[in-house]
Amino acid sequence: MLREVMVLVCLGAMAVSSFAAPLSSSVRPAIPAEVQQIICVDYRALKNSDVAQALKAQVLPDNLKEFETALKSTGIDTNRDVDTLTFIAYRLPKQGLRMVGAAQGAFALKDILRKLKLQKVKPVKYRDSDIYPMANGMQMTFLDDTTLLFGDGSAVRGSLDARDGYTQTLDSNPDIANLIEDVQGGSVWSILDQKGTQNAIMSGMGEASRLA
């Protein structure tokens, strides 16, 4: 039953488009083992599907506009340049729940870096990664030429720690990892771990009691 609750949100998306939003091989290693929720959206499908747009509004975090604004500050247009957008909420020891976003697309990387240089935006080295400040206090780094990781500083560094082998990754959490294969054929999908599902159910019950 719990497994059905965790993957339910993806089912409506699977029928709305021939597109799919598989979890990228460059994003997966950057997901810490203590992941609570993964949300993945195929932006290409959203352009042609009202149903997918509605699902996006339901599953994406409330601060999506902040993420999109932060991306635009670097010269990235989410409607034009982004193919897939993934949000990862995970627990960081002693710091609670953190969220990062991973945008994938055909970015004009040289133009983005040139714009940052002209704006006198300087990166901070974190091992082999260059972390740049963004709008709204966020930070970003490129996992590769087509994948941008962004979020608050501690969340970005926590994901890089997983990617670089300093902490355990998603693949050491089979309860979540095994669910991904079931859902990533959808253009919009989301999965929750047991604790996240319980919190969502309790939140829903609270809303229902206030409406009663």
pLDDT, one tens digit per residue, over 106-117 is 888 888 888 888
Residue 1 or residue 41, greater confidence: 41
At 6, which amino acid appears? M
Share of the chain above pLDDT 90, in %: 34
Check if the beta carbon of residue 6 is closer than 8 Å to that of residue 197.
Answer: yes
* 88: nearest Cα among 186, 177, 1: 177
Give residue for tokens 């083992």: 33
Q: What is the mean pLDDT of residues 92-100?
A: 87
Q: How far apart are CA 80 and CA 24, in angstroms?
A: 19
List, in sequence order, every residue forming a beta bridge with 122; answer none if it has no partner: none
pLDDT at 119 over 90: no
User: pLDDT, tens digit, for every residue of 130-188?
Assistant: 999 987 788 999 999 999 999 999 999 999 999 999 999 999 999 888 888 888 777 77
Q: How far apart are CA 152 and CA 31, in angstroms?
A: 15
Share of the chain above pLDDT 70, in %: 72
| pLDDT at 49 (0 to 100) | 66
Residue ranges covered by each domain of the chain: 2-207
pTM of the model: 0.80
Q: How far apart are CA 101 and CA 195, in angstroms?
A: 21
Confidence of residue 64 (pLDDT cuts 50, 70, 90): low
Residue 181 or residue 2, greater confidence: 181
Check if the beta carbon of residue 190 is closer than 8 Å to that of residue 58.
Answer: no
